[in-house]
Amino acid sequence: MKALSAQQVEERFGITPEQLEQWEKYVSQGILPSEPRGPVITGPGRPMKFGEEMRQVGFKEPKSRVALIDARAAQLGLKRSDYLRGLVDRDLASSGLV
């Protein structure tokens, strides 16, 4: 890959040599002068979703049943896991366990 000249960078991307120098100064100081484009996650792994350690629960269903589960979750605007979690939560609440 061939390096671009300062003139080519300015023509292609609209970035002046002065802007590049300023950005380099900021970055070398650990300053990122922009807004985050997504959620900011600190530390390794996913943050706790429900305030406590989680364990994975799994079971098998026929493909046709999984398709129906996915269709119903989509109708409700949910992911499959959120849909199934909601069903479990409602059942545990109705039994008085939660």
Q: What is the mean pLDDT of the chain?
A: 85
Q: For the chain, list residues with pLDDT below 50.
A: none
**Residues 83, 98: Cα–Cα separation, whole Å:** 18
Greatest extent of the chain over all pairs of C-alpha atoms, in Å: 71
Chain centroid to CA 33: 22
At 82, list the tokens. Answer: 């959120």
Look at residue 83 in the predicted model and tell me its pLDDT.
95
Euclidean distance between CA atoms 15 and 58, whole angstroms:
51
pTM, two decimals, is 0.51
